[in-house]
Amino acid sequence: GYRVSLQGNFFGRNHTYIIFAEYNPRKHIKLDPPLNIQSNITASKCQIWWSVPWYLVEILQYELQYKEYSMSWEIALNKTPPSSLPQIEIEATELRSGIAYIARVRCKVSENEDSYHSQWSEWSQTTVFQRPGVPKLSEKILNTRTMQFLFIPLSFGTLLYLFWNCKLSSRWQKASPALTFPRQLLSFSHSIICTMGILR
């Protein structure tokens, strides 16, 4: 144990103030933040893990904080690992597809530990991860609208082309008697053949 006091000169006189009559350092620990935080994401979950000194693993508890990369830490979500192991999993259903996320972690001595007591450490360095997925809805809408804008003029152009083609074709048929000639010729030939058959 330790005896902590504050000494100073006030108005020309020395004074001693007792801050802690009995100070036990093990009850007032502030740990270093976890190190080397990393992440790996799959279609079903995101695994996040970090490092702490091996002799502290069994007596620590952790708090993970994660958020969308562009958001503020004030609206981040917190998760507590179910065990003292320096790792945690986030279900993919908790993450939006195609959005980048950032996470950090801090630690302190577990509340179940009698020998030591601490406050939360500072936050660790961060890790960034992103759930793969389909394009965002806005991109789909944009693609659909683009197709609509392209389809309308193309359809109009096709109809105009067919109408113009039919109009020219009908004018050409009126202007050229050759188109009706084969039918007359066939009818005349058929009459001759029938007459010859009767004569025989």
The string of pLDDT tens digits covering residues 53-89 is 999 999 999 999 999 999 999 999 999 998 889 999 9
Domain that holds residue 122: 31-131
CA–CA distance, 162 with 170 (Å, rounded to integer): 12
Confidence band of 179 (pLDDT split at 50, 70, 90)? very low
Q: Is residue 137 scored above 50 in pLDDT?
A: no
Number of domains in the chain: 2
Global pTM value: 0.59
Last residue of a domain, one of 93, 114, 131: 131
Residues 102 and 13 in one domain: no
User: How many alpha carbons lie under 13 Å from residue 25 in its C-beta half-sphere?
Assistant: 3
Residues 89 and 17 in one domain: no
Q: Is residue 147 scored above 80 in pLDDT?
A: no
Q: From 17, 19, 22, 29, select the one nearest 3 (Cα to Cα).
A: 22
**Secondary structure (3-state) at 156:** helix
Mean pLDDT of the chain: 80
> Which long-range contacts link 151-157 to residues 24+ away (Cβ below 8 Å)?
none
